Amino acid sequence: MNLSTNPGIWAQAICILAVYTYLYKDNPIWRFAETTYLGLATAYWFVFYFHNYIVVFVKDNVMQNGEWHYILAIILGLMIFFRYVPSLAWLARYPMSFWVGFGTGYVLGFAPAVWLTQVRTSFIALNSVENVLIVIGILATLTYFFFTIAKENPVVGGIAEVGKWYIMIALGSAFGNTVLYRWNLFLSRANTIIVDWLGVTP
Amino acid sequence: MRKEGPMIVTVLSSLIVVFSAHFHLGKQLGIKDALDGWFLISICIALALGFVNLTAIHWKAIQRKREGWIFSVWLMIVMYGYAVLGLIQSHTGTQFNWIYQNIQAALSSAVFSLVAFFISSAAYRAFRIRTKEATVLMIFAVFVMLGRAPIGDAIWGQWSYWVNKIMAVPNMAGMRGILLGASIGAFATALRIMLGLERAHLGGTGTQ
- Determine contact: B106 vs chain A, CB below 8 A: yes
Task: Considering only residues A55 and B22, tell me which one the structure prediction assigns the higher pLDDT.
Answer: A55
Instruction: Judge: B79–A42 Cβ closer than 8 Å, yes or no.
Output: yes
Q: How high is the pLDDT of residue A195?
A: 93
Give A146's pLDDT tier (boundaries 50, 70, 90): confident
Q: Give per-residue pLDDT as tens, B171-198.
A: 999 999 999 989 999 999 999 998 888 8
Whether the predicted pLDDT of B206 surpasses 70? no
The H-or-E segment that residue B7 falls in is helix B4-22
Q: How high is the pLDDT of residue B198?
A: 81
The average confidence (pLDDT) of chain A is 90
CA distance A155 to A160: 9
A149–chain B nearest CA distance, Å = 14
Q: Give per-residue pLDDT as tens, B118-156.
A: 887 787 777 666 788 888 888 899 899 899 888 888 998
The H-or-E segment that residue A67 falls in is none
Q: How high is the pLDDT of residue B33?
A: 81
Give A30's pLDDT tier (boundaries 50, 70, 90): very high
Percent share of chain B, pLDDT over 90: 41
Spell out a b/e string for A28-53, using b for 16 or more CB atoms within 10 Å of the CB, else e: eebbbbbbbbbbbbbbbbbbbbbbeb
Give A69's pLDDT tier (boundaries 50, 70, 90): confident
CA distance A40 to B79: 6
CA distance A57 to B33: 13
Q: What is the DSSP letter of B201?
A: G
Q: pTM for the whole thing?
A: 0.83
- Helices B69-89, A28-49: axis angle to 10 degrees equals 30
The average confidence (pLDDT) of chain B is 87
B171 CB contacts (<8 Å, ≥6 apart)?
A169, A170, A173, A174
Complete DSSP assignment for B125-145: HHHSSSSHHHHHHHHHHHHHH
Do B187 and B18 meet the contact criterion of CB atoms below 8 Å apart? no
Give B208's pLDDT tier (boundaries 50, 70, 90): very low
Complete DSSP assignment for A102-159: HHHHHHHHTHHHHHHHHHHTT-----SHHHHHHHHHHHHHHHHT-TTS-TTSHHHHHH
CA distance A76 to B73: 32
Among candidates A49, A97, A109 on the partner chain, residue whose Cβ is nearest the Cβ of B9: A97
CA distance B85 to B67: 29
Q: Of A43, A34, A9, A28, which is closest to residue B111 (Cα–Cα)?
A: A34
Q: How high is the pLDDT of residue B207?
A: 42
Whether the predicted pLDDT of A1 surpasses 90? no
Q: How high is the pLDDT of residue B205?
A: 42
CA distance A32 to B5: 45
Amino acid, single-letter form, for residue B31: I
Rounded to whole angstroms, what are the CA distances from A142 to A72, A122, B52, B76, B199? Answer: 44, 12, 44, 49, 28
If you count them, how many residues does chain A have? 202
Q: Of B136, B148, B72, which is closest to residue A31 (Cα–Cα)?
A: B72
Residue of chain B whose Cα is closest to the Cα of A83: B49
Mean pLDDT, rounded, for A1-9: 90
Q: How high is the pLDDT of residue B129?
A: 63
Instruction: Judge: B114–A23 Cβ closer than 8 Å, yes or no.
Output: yes
Rank A4-18, B109-123, B149-163 by mean pLDDT and report only the highest: A4-18
Whether the predicted pLDDT of A76 surpasses 70? yes
Q: Of B113, B165, B153, which is closest to residue A181 (Cα–Cα)?
A: B113
Q: Give per-residue pLDDT as tens, B31-59.
A: 778 888 889 999 888 888 888 999 999 99
Sign, Cα dihedral of B33, B39, B40, B45: positive
Contacts of B117 in chain A (CB under 8 A): 23, 186
Instruction: Judge: A54–B7 Cβ closer than 8 Å, yes or no.
Output: no
Where would I find the beta strands (DSSP E) of B106-202?
none
Tell which of B22, B29, B49, B140 to mutate to test the A interface (max A CBs under 10 Å). B140
Task: Considering only residues A184 and A152, tell me which one the structure prediction assigns the higher pLDDT.
Answer: A184
Do A106 and B183 meet the contact criterion of CB atoms below 8 Å apart? no
